[in-house]
Amino acid sequence: MHELSLCQDLIDQVTELARKHRAKSVACVKVQIGQLAGVEPLLLESAFTIARAGTVAEQAEMITEVVAPCVLCNTCGAESEVTPSNLLCLACGGNNTRLIRGDELILARVELVVDD
Ligand SMILES: [Zn+2]
């Protein structure tokens, strides 16, 4: 399962953060999923409950946010937020665009529980 290995990567990143900040646990993990990342938010959330078991993030809640793709136009230089089915530049209508966001999975925020 694709989502499970993604979650294991996320858990690795979260564990590393928690270690750096001497956190005793992780309360919340927020992930941004690009619409073109090929990741199903619900599958990711359920995979997370498997991946987190026995880690510092065992109690962590996962929040997913789907982000629209964004393209940079090579013709006019405009950045446009677009839909996955239409990657044309919104400013000039050109198709000479480059995807700058929307095909990745980003660890947006991690809430750590730290002893004070
Ligand atoms: Zn353009």
pLDDT, tens only, 15-40: 999 999 999 999 999 999 999 999 99
Q: Which residues of the chain have pLDDT under 50?
A: none
What local confidence, expressed as pLDDT, does residue 54 receive? 97
What local confidence, expressed as pLDDT, does residue 56 receive? 97
Quote the radius of gyration of the chain (alpha carbons, Å). 17
Tokens 């004070």 found at: 116
The CA distance from 112 to 110, in Å, is 6
Instruction: Give the start-to-end residue ranges of the domains of the chain.
Output: 2-113
What local confidence, expressed as pLDDT, does residue 1 receive? 60
Distance (angstroms) between ligand 1 centre and the Cα of 65 equals 27
- Class for domain 2-113, per CATH? alpha beta
The CA distance from 18 to 25, in Å, is 7
What local confidence, expressed as pLDDT, does residue 116 receive? 73
Residues having C-beta closer than 5 Å to ion ligand 1: 73, 75-76, 78, 89, 91-92, 94
Contact 9, 31 (CB under 8 A): no
Q: What is the model's pTM? A: 0.86
Distance (angstroms) between ligand 1 centre and the Cα of 75 equals 5
